[in-house]
Structure 1
């Protein structure tokens, strides 16, 4: 079945599957996501080129669309008795600030993959960055209490990938050491719901986590919504 929540879809899916495992409804669940940024980038460029009378603000609202990338991920969650890796998902916390639901809006879609699919997105990136980081700060404070962590306890941080200014403000707001960040923005851009989990996968491949490390998964999505989870490696 489908779970969609902008850039938090995979994390929401992880929580849903984890709850089903804890309730004894299932013993294992696979969450998958694929993001194809090409059509949005192409449509945005064509729209900008075809409108020479655009104002500065109209152009600014398209900037975020030009950072979109493509990625696909799979996350397998199992009951601890079935686990061969022993990387427990410890818990987390989610918050919403839905008064800002209009900061990122897309046009009506005719369906991904259809010949007439021409997605467009308008984003107030500056307001989203500031209000998103405020929401993230509240969410992180609550998540730390649930997990029993302090910011200093965190070994590595994996965030939804948006931009360098966003990352700087986020770490300042949360009181986290930016040296603990693992970034894929430079190679993947913002790949939507696949962004954070694919960043975690790249980090694992690079060997940045060792047994016993505490990994913070910090999700922020339009809506505005934030979901932050803790994993022990």
Structure 2
């Protein structure tokens, strides 16, 4: 997909105040670490993640998304009456229905003639929303659209810690399925896309390419897993109610991930998609000045960049201090790369997204400043 008329006008993000270190999580896992004689420091050693952040208990994703989106619109100075689409793209939502986007839409005071909906696609939800909005702008149906989301890691991590400590039958091999759950962090991000004639920044969306390797969809599965009748309850996302119910009900891990196979299959899926991205964009590897990838951890980054033939020196990361923040990870990473002048005017920047499923989505942006 090639674009001529779409600009990524602005990106904003919000981070929680509470910092949770990998060492702190391991300290809470002392019962299972002692039972299985696991060495301290293995979580950070395996993932490269020193810390992540949590929202306060009871935080609603929609409330934080509203805060992030409102600040973005204020800073961009784009007339809210021009926003023709609002997409909420995070895994975490306020409820199954109505769409969390409805809460954000009314809170922002956006026009009634506006597409308002949620998109859920694991760690690619915000990028999917950006592509949808960009396509509508390119076709002339919209002047501007907003994509926002908020991920809340606390319920998943808390329930995972509790389960690992309480289930004394788990072996070393079995707890590997829960390691990815301990890397998750919280955050919020929003992106504003506009018709180039409205843009003050001129950060032009140049190209997009996508791919699917759905045969590997079972390698990472998540949802509420409160066992009330012997069967897991696979609803939308971890909730505060799920955490409160733990004391009275048996709980299975809320997310199970075959991390080693997911890493291999995800990178394998990215390779042909990246080749197609290069062909569609008419960029070479040398043309790509900067990359921002989905933030999983150090092993994922190393293998991905090596497989795609990209230089680590051109890549910006946030996983070390934010962990894996799901669908908001890549937008936050781009925003921080811009803040820290890692991405500068004239940089052709590749946004390389991979999400469980397995789906791949890559966007190319010509950054103007």
Query: Distance between the aligned counterparts of 1:111 and 1:223, measured in 2?
Result: 16
The TM-score with structure 2 as length reference comes to: 0.62
Where does residue 242 of structure 2 map in the other structure?
116
How many angstroms does 1:113 deviate by? 4.3
Query: Distance between the aligned counterparts of 1:149 and 1:25, measured in 2?
Result: 28
Q: Give the 5 Å matches for 1:111-150.
A: 113-117=239-243, 120-150=254-284
SS in 2 for 1:18: helix
Where does residue 346 of structure 2 map in the other structure?
212
Q: Give the 5 Å matches for 1:1-233.
A: 1-107=117-223, 108-109=234-235, 113-117=239-243, 120-233=254-367
SS in 2 for 1:24: coil
SS in 1 for 2:260: helix
SS in 2 for 1:61: helix
Any conservation in 1 of the 2:222–2:237 contact (CA below 8 Å)?
no
Query: Distance between the aligned counterparts of 1:214 and 1:90, measured in 2?
Result: 9
The TM-score with structure 1 as length reference comes to: 0.97
Any conservation in 1 of the 2:145–2:192 contact (CA below 8 Å)?
yes
Unaligned runs of 5+ in 2: 1-116, 224-233, 247-252
Of 193-202 and 100-109, deviating more is 100-109
Any conservation in 2 of the 1:110–1:116 contact (CA below 8 Å)?
no
How many angstroms does 1:152 deviate by? 1.1
Name the count of aligned residue pairs.
Answer: 233
How many angstroms does 1:57 deviate by? 2.1
SS in 1 for 2:310: coil
How many angstroms does 1:66 deviate by? 0.4
List, as ranges, runs of 4+ consecutive aligned residues in structure 1 with deviation greater than 6 Å.
none
Question: CA 1:30–1:58 in structure 2 vs 1: closer, same or farther (change >3 Å)?
Answer: same
Unaligned runs of 5+ in 1: none
1:98-150 CA deviation, whole Å, 9 max, x = no partner? 00010001132376544235770000000000111011111110001111111
Question: CA 1:168–1:144 in structure 2 vs 1: closer, same or farther (change >3 Å)?
Answer: same
Larger relative contact order (CA 8 Å, sep ≥ 6): 1
Query: Distance between the aligned counterparts of 2:312 and 2:236, measured in 1?
Result: 40
How many angstroms does 1:4 deviate by? 1.1
How many angstroms does 1:94 deviate by? 0.2
1:183-207 CA deviation, whole Å, 9 max, x = no partner? 0001110000000000001111101
Question: CA 1:110–1:147 in structure 2 vs 1: closer, same or farther (change >3 Å)?
Answer: closer
- Give the number of the structure whose alpha-carbon radius of gyration is greater: 2
